[in-house]
Amino acid sequence: MPHMRLHYEAEVINYWKSLIEYDEQITETKKAIAQPRDATISTVADMANGGDVSIIYILLPIFAVIFTVLLVRCLVYWRIAEDRSIGDRNEKMPLIS
């Protein structure tokens, strides 16, 4: 079994042993003081039976997505139409004036 000669670093080892005992004392104190909290768990069934969720909270994101898709579609359509009209103008311009 390994051992230290002349108790080399015995003070450091004793310090760490005392920290382990101190940690155990703190843990026991915290366990004695700690009180479990009452947790209320809301389930989907509670919400379906008239819970806190309103229909507006469900429909608002859906309407926002639909509005965003339509807005992007219109912007892209207008950009493509603008590019086509510029190309048409250039083709109709006479080369010699």
Q: Based on the domain organization, do 17 and 39 belong to the same domain?
A: yes
Q: Based on the domain organization, do 34 and 75 belong to the same domain?
A: no
In degrees, rounded to 5, the angle at the alpha carbon of residue 70 between the alpha carbons of residues 68 and 74 is 115
Provide the residue range defining the domain that includes 86.
49-96
Answering whether pTM is above 0.85, one says no
What is the DSSP code string of 21-76?
Answer: HHHHHHHHHHHHH--PPP-----HHHHHTT-S--HHHHHHHHHHHHHHHHHHHHHH
Length of the chain: 97
Q: Based on the domain organization, do 44 and 3 belong to the same domain?
A: yes
Mapped onto helix, strand or coil, the DSSP state of residue 93 is: coil
Q: Based on the domain organization, do 70 and 37 belong to the same domain?
A: no
Q: Based on the domain organization, do 42 and 65 belong to the same domain?
A: no
Cβ pair 47, 53 in contact under 8 A? yes
pLDDT digits (tens, 9 = 90+) for 18-65: 999 999 999 998 888 877 776 776 666 555 565 566 788 889 999 999
What total number of domains does the chain contain?
2
Cβ pair 74, 65 in contact under 8 A? no
pLDDT value for 47 = 53
Q: Based on the domain organization, do 53 and 67 belong to the same domain?
A: yes
pLDDT digits (tens, 9 = 90+) for 53-68: 678 888 999 999 999 9
Q: Based on the domain organization, do 1 and 43 belong to the same domain?
A: yes
**Structure-model confidence comparison of residues 43 and 15, the more confident one:** 15
Q: Based on the domain organization, do 25 and 65 belong to the same domain?
A: no
